[in-house]
Amino acid sequence: MVLLDRRVTIDEVSNYLQIRHGSASEIIHNRLGFHKVCARWVPKQLTVLKPAIRSKRRGLPSKGVVFLHDNARPHTAETLWKLKFDVMAHPPYSPDLAPSDYHSFGPLKRHLGPRSE
């Protein structure tokens, strides 16, 4: 029921299943692992990871669009240019190094200290 309608309330679930409110709440929260975010039921594992993702992406922009493409076709590149997208260039022939990894260089260098010189 929660998967079909993410906005369903605990009262609606308990009335539909004819069980106590507390039982419906316990099933949804503890057994199914959902909780409410902006009036919608979402899996807890996603919301638990949110702070970790934010801390790892500190150096990256959190708003707006950053488009990363590797060897885009000419018409794609032209469309992006016309739409005035900020395009992150990807170094050619460098499959192990992506611009999305650049934010980790500073913390890594600080961690290594004088050994990185």
Mean pLDDT by groups of 10 residues along the chain of 117 residues? 77 88 85 74 66 68 62 76 73 62 73 66
**b (16+ CB within 10 A) / e for 42-61:** eeeeeeeeeeeeeeeeeeee
DSSP 71-86: S--HHHHHHHHHTT--
pTM comes to: 0.35
Q: What is the per-residue pLDDT for 102? A: 65
pLDDT of residue 73: 76
